[in-house]
Structure 1
Amino acid sequence: MRKIFLALVVCLLCSAVSADVIVLDLSKPAEAIEYNEQGVWRDVYKDEAFVQSQGFRFSHVSSSPHYYNGFVASRSTTVLESANFDDQFGCMARGGVSGEGSPYLVAYWDAYAESLSIERSCEVTFPAPYYTAGFYVCNNPYTYYAIQKGNSYAAQFEQGAWLKLIVHGIDTSGNEAGTVEHYLADYRSEKPEAWTLNKSWEWVDLSTLGKVSSLYFTMESSDQGERSMKTPAYFCPDRLMVLTAPASVDESLATTTKLYYDRVAGAVRVESAEPMEAAVYNMRGALVMRQRVEGTASLDLSDTPSGVYIVRCGGKSLKIVK
């Protein structure tokens, strides 16, 4: 299922003929991010400090030396399995989408603080309205092990329990454009083998939100307290992707374009009735190859690393696994 979601978003990105794709990359922030010895952002308990990268600004509030809500940058690889606060700055993948030790965000949603203020505790604002594509999400260790083992406040999950992240899009008029829900833990099935508990990076498709000026995040859990849910309200996002123009598919070109994958030769054969450009993208949305096609062409992928790729040409796409 994860591969299907990823293929869909890359197809969406590739079909945006005149659109630029903007991807969050915390290794190249707008302002330098300093980390402590544990790999956690040094400004985690500094008020009026924000993580900013690729034009995205992530909310952050700290009202005391031991409290924050919003987003924190981290590159911690530590997972203590404690089901407690000492595991709040990590990620179950032990790094961002780029690999172990690479930077990512940790978010803490404080429902009670948000209820006392007009400010959203977990919000990302854009420098201009963008068309949302999606982002990756992974569970935080504090949340993960509280679900798996329980602690003095949160219940261990059993059949019927669930935790979900809700993404809200805000349009250019300041109104809610829609929401997208993603389950970080889902024990609703009567069959234990069908239960899911996120521990790796999963793609969340936001394309249905359309053009928005900001996103904010809330959470819901089956383990609910008087003021907020009892399950720790942490999650880890990375690689937020947006487009500067809407994606589109030229159906007339798609009907005259054919794509074939020759696994033995490690090449994709492209046939097109009209001159056009073919492009190959990896599953992170990065362009791997671009080639002009006039009639027929062969895209040689024999030297590319093993993995999943999307070939896009004339409004038609082909997913290959090599």
Structure 2
Amino acid sequence: MQKFTSLFITLFLTLQIFAQPATTFEELPLPAEKYWNGSDGSGKFASGGFTFFNNYNEAWASWMGFSYSALTDTITPGWGNQYSAITGSGVGQSEKYGVGYASGTTNIKLENPDSVKGFYVTNSTYSYLTIKYGDEFSKKFGGVLGTDPDYFSLIIFGIGTEGDTTGQVVYRLADFTSDNPEEDYILKTWEWVSLDTLGVVSELHFAMESTDNSAWGMNNPAYFCIDNVNVREVITSINISEKEMLQSVAWPNPFRDQVSLKLPFGQFDLTISDLYGKVVLKSKEQGNATILINGLAGEAPGIYFLQMTNQAGQTQVIRLMKTR
């Protein structure tokens, strides 16, 4: 019989959920390649203990505040592609993410005052391509010679229970201010923004700042994309050789109703938990086989964790994404 060596993998991903209010936007009702921009007149949407405010102008078919999206277009420039993230997906290849347009009031309200540890941010495709190449309204950042000290910043204000400002955090989505041109960048990945310094807040207010301005305000598009509020991805390293890695495969991922799992030799306890640690399925399985995991059709869309543990207590975790 083939010797079963190890169930650990060299790198695996987990999510740290810092507080009860936490959202990945995945439970929001939205088909693939669609977006919500407030055209229903609701003025807001709620997710994971947060309310995201939206102001839609029916006469102009325009909006400001927050929308949410499942678009994947990283190529098309211009205003018509204002709902896409330059990453082409949410954090960790998830389907949905929030989009902020800081043309006016851009606020998030907590259901109950609490500390917010942070969120992931990236540029919209519209902002990224405009900053990179310029257009009829906005300059190419860095200028023709690449020496202009341009920047584009997101500013987050913490608002306390008495309406006081608890502090602010500034995060640069593009920065050309370094003396070394090799350090110039326009953000095109999801990056964590820590809000630890803001303390307990009842609201978060967002604004944007740029070096490209005119008498009418900022020239470059005032958009940003947001995901995993209070949910941080953590990569755990384990020094195990490639020969000792578990060759397990789960598919399809993302999935809708059921998941196939190929297991190596051994006996396994399987547990599937949701984002908040609630166990939704448990089973015992014999390895050296491909098994079909049913019983997930009734669960809500979102992130789940499939944990496999062998008789020696060694464990691997696979991150799953359930769609509608």
Superposition TM-score tier, normalisation by shorter sequence: 0.5 to 0.7
Q: CA deviation at 1:228?
A: 1.6
Deviations 1:260-312 (A, max 9, x none): 9664689xxxxxxxxxxxxxxxxxx977799xxxxxxx9845x3469xxxxxx
Tell me if structure 1 keeps the 8 A contact 2:113–2:202: yes
Amino acid aligned to 2:224: F
- The residue aligned with 2:216 is 227
Distance between the aligned counterparts of 1:141 and 1:261, measured in 2?
35
- The residue aligned with 2:175 is 186
Tell me if structure 1 keeps the 8 A contact 2:171–2:193: yes
Tell me if structure 2 keeps the 8 A contact 1:135–1:205: yes
Out of 82, 85, 93, the position equivalent to 1:91 is: 85
CA RMSD of aligned residues (A): 3.1
Out of 101, 108, 111, the position equivalent to 1:124 is: 108
Matched, 1:213 2:197: no
Distance between the aligned counterparts of 2:116 and 2:196, measured in 1?
5
Out of 153, 162, 170, the position equivalent to 1:164 is: 153
Matched, 1:50 2:34: no
Moved more, 222-231 or 143-152: 222-231
Distance between the aligned counterparts of 1:262 and 1:105, measured in 2?
36
Distance between the aligned counterparts of 1:261 and 1:80, measured in 2?
37
Out of 113, 134, 137, the position equivalent to 2:121 is: 137
Distance between the aligned counterparts of 1:225 and 1:163, measured in 2?
15
Distance between the aligned counterparts of 2:125 and 2:106, measured in 1?
19
Q: CA deviation at 1:34?
A: 4.0
Structure 1: gaps (5+ residues): 1-6, 14-19, 115-120, 243-259, 267-284, 291-297, 307-322
% identical aligned pairs = 28
Equivalent residue pairs, number: 235
Amino acid aligned to 1:204: V
Deviations 1:193-241 (A, max 9, x none): 1111111111000011010001010000011121321110000001111
Tell me if structure 2 keeps the 8 A contact 1:80–1:87: no
Tell me if structure 1 keeps the 8 A contact 2:306–2:318: no
Distance between the aligned counterparts of 1:57 and 1:91, measured in 2?
21
Q: What TM-score, normalized by structure 2, do the two folds share?
A: 0.65
SS at match of 1:95: coil
SS at match of 1:142: helix
Tell me if structure 1 keeps the 8 A contact 2:38–2:44: no
- The residue aligned with 1:81 is 76
- The residue aligned with 2:66 is 71
Could you say if the C-alpha distance between residues 55 and 286 of structure 1 is closer, same or farther in structure 2, counting changes exceeding 3 Å?
A: closer
Tell me if structure 2 keeps the 8 A contact 1:51–1:73: no
Amino acid aligned to 1:137: V
Out of 186, 189, 206, the position equivalent to 1:197 is: 186
Which has the larger helix fraction? 1
Moved more, 219-228 or 20-29: 20-29
Distance between the aligned counterparts of 1:196 and 1:46, measured in 2?
37
- The residue aligned with 1:148 is 132
Amino acid aligned to 1:181: V
Deviations 1:109-150 (A, max 9, x none): 11xxx4xxxxxx110001110111000001001110110010
Q: Which has the larger radius of gyration?
A: 2
Deviation >6 Å, runs of 4+: 285-290
Matched, 1:107 2:107: no
| Larger RCO: 1 or 2 (CA < 8 Å, sep 6+) | 2
- The residue aligned with 2:21 is 22
Could you say if the C-alpha distance between residues 63 and 193 of structure 1 is closer, same or farther in structure 2, counting changes exceeding 3 Å?
A: same
Q: What TM-score, normalized by structure 1, do the two folds share?
A: 0.65
Distance between the aligned counterparts of 1:24 and 1:59, measured in 2?
15
- The residue aligned with 1:275 is none
Structure 2: gaps (5+ residues): 1-12, 232-236, 246-274, 278-304, 320-324
Amino acid aligned to 1:89: Y
